[in-house]
Amino acid sequence: MILSDMDRVDYFDSYGIARKTTETVKEITHKILKGPAWVGYLMQLRDFVVRPFGLKTEDKIKKVQLDSNSEFDFAPILFSNDNEIIMGMNDKHLYFRLSVLKVTGQENTQIFLTTVVRFNNWGGRVYFAVIRIFHGLIVRTMLKRL
C-alpha cells in the first residue's frame, strides 16, 4: 500500500521491533512521532536551513494538518486502517511516505516503521544525503521508546 502512488522509489528502509502491547496503531503512531527533544532541535535546524529554498517547514505542515483536521502534525495521512497508517508529503525536491505497521502475533506485536522516498531533482538527492545521516538513528530511537 505504501507504494501505491509512487511511480519509482529512490530510497527505502524499514525498521521493526517486537513488543507486548494492546495499543492501537494510532496510539503507537502518536508515541513514535513524539520523539525525544533532540529530534525536535534537529527539525528546527532543518527548517532554518531549508526555508530559503522554499521547502515546506514544520509550520506549513502543521497548518495543512489543522486545515484538514488531521490527527497527526507530522504529515498528512494518506491511508489508514486498523493495522497501518501511511503518512506522506510531496514537495518540490522529493516525495516521502512513512508507514507505521502493527502486526499482532500470539506472543508479541511487531511494529514496523518504513520510509520510502522519491527524489524529484538533484536538490532532493542533496537534501536526503544530509538527512540520511540522522534518519536511521532517529527511527531506531523512536521505536525503542515504545
pTM of the model: 0.84
Query: What pLDDT score does 44 carry?
Result: 81
Q: CB–CB of 83/65 below 8 Å?
A: no
Task: Indicate the fold that domain 11-144 takes in CATH.
Answer: TBP-like (3.30.2030)
Per-residue pLDDT tens digits for 68-87:
556 777 788 889 999 999 99
**Could you give the CA distance from residue 75 to residue 57 in angstroms, rounded to a whole number?**
11
Residues of the chain with pLDDT under 70: 53-57, 59-70
Domain ranges of the chain: 11-144
Looking at this protein, which amino acid is placed at residue 28?
Answer: I
Q: What order do you get walking across the sheet with 84-90 strand by strand? A: 11-19, 109-119, 94-104, 84-90, 77-80
